């Protein structure tokens, strides 16, 4: 077992975007929207957690190359009354891609939201029958050319 040898590969611009969803009780999403979660703002905390996770991916995933991450953007929104969606985009100029970093950022952000609202999600037996992380996937990857920046970045 060994890491893939990327020594001879050139450094090029790479970007990957991953998304995922967290199903919650409608009452929990209302608390998030109202800013009434006891632990604080789950979206703000989850964004920080996602960035830190992307930067530490090679410490979490065996045989994953440590990369010089140049940007991580984690976006979180309540897309409806029971669903939170996380989108993480990671950039680098390196010899290998950042798909794992985007996936780890998304998964960690989703787990962080769950952790911050778990007290509202438990049923009377202390279980989580409504809470579900789903559909974590890479939705886009780019290699070799930088996508044009929007004016607000």
Show which residues are catalytic.
Answer: 115
> Which are the contacts of 152, defined by CB distance < 8 A and separation ≥ 6?
none
Alpha-carbon distance of 20 to 84, in angstroms, equals 8
Q: Is 68 left (phi over 0), alpha (psi -120 to 50) or beta?
A: beta
Question: How is residue 73 annotated by DSSP?
Answer: E
Q: Which residues pair with 13 in a beta bridge?
A: 93
> Which are the contacts of 111, defined by CB distance < 8 A and separation ≥ 6?
49, 133
């Amino acid at each position: 077992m060994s890491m893939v040898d990327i020594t001879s590969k050139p450094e090029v611009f790479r970007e990957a975007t991953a998304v995922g969803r967290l199903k919650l009780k409608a009452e929990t999403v209302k608390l998030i929207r109202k800013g009434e979660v006891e632990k604080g703002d789950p979206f703000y905390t989850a964004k920080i957690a996602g960035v830190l996770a992307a930067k530490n991916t090679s410490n979490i995933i065996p045989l994953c190359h440590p990369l010089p991450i140049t940007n991580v953007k984690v976006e979180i929104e309540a897309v409806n009354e029971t669903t939170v969606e996380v989108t993480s985009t990671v950039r680098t100029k390196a010899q290998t891609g950042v798909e794992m970093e985007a996936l780890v950022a998304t998964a960690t952000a989703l787990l962080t939201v769950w952790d911050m609202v778990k007290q509202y999600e438990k049923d009377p037996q202390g279980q989580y029958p409504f809470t579900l992380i789903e559909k974590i996937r890479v939705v886009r990857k780019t290699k070799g050319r930088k996508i044009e920046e929007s004016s607000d970045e």
